[in-house]
Amino acid sequence: MRTTIEIPAAQRARLLEIAARRGEKGFSRLVQEAVERFLSEEDTRKARTEAALALEGSMSAKAAEALSASVTRIRRTWR
């Protein structure tokens, strides 16, 4: 699918340079790779967030208090 994106001239020049080193005429493949990487990283971030949120409430109140007290003690020694 064709679309239009706006990028600074410096980025365009770098993309063309990289594409040329790869023996490609344009930088469409580079943009496709970048979009694919972004989408993959977004999926990973979303999965990690959901996994972390699923842990909510899995620590007992007593354990949470002990952890909080421990963190407070450690922070007192930070400089």
Domain range holding 33?
Answer: 9-76
The count of structural domains within the chain is 1
Averaged pLDDT for residues 11-32: 96
The reply to whether the predicted model has a pTM over 0.75 is no
Considering the domain boundaries, does residue 4 fall inside one? no
pLDDT tens readout for residues 25-66: 999 999 999 999 999 999 999 999 999 999 888 888 899 899
Is the pLDDT assigned to residue 8 strictly greater than 80? yes
Considering the domain boundaries, does residue 24 fall inside one? yes
Q: Rounded CA gap, 33 and 39, in Å?
A: 10
Considering the domain boundaries, does residue 59 fall inside one? yes
Angle between helices 28-54 and 9-21 (to 10 degrees): 110
Considering the domain boundaries, does residue 1 fall inside one? no
Considering the domain boundaries, does residue 16 fall inside one? yes
- Going by C-alpha positions, the residue among 37, 40, 34, 43 that lies closest to residue 15 is 34
pLDDT at position 55 is 86
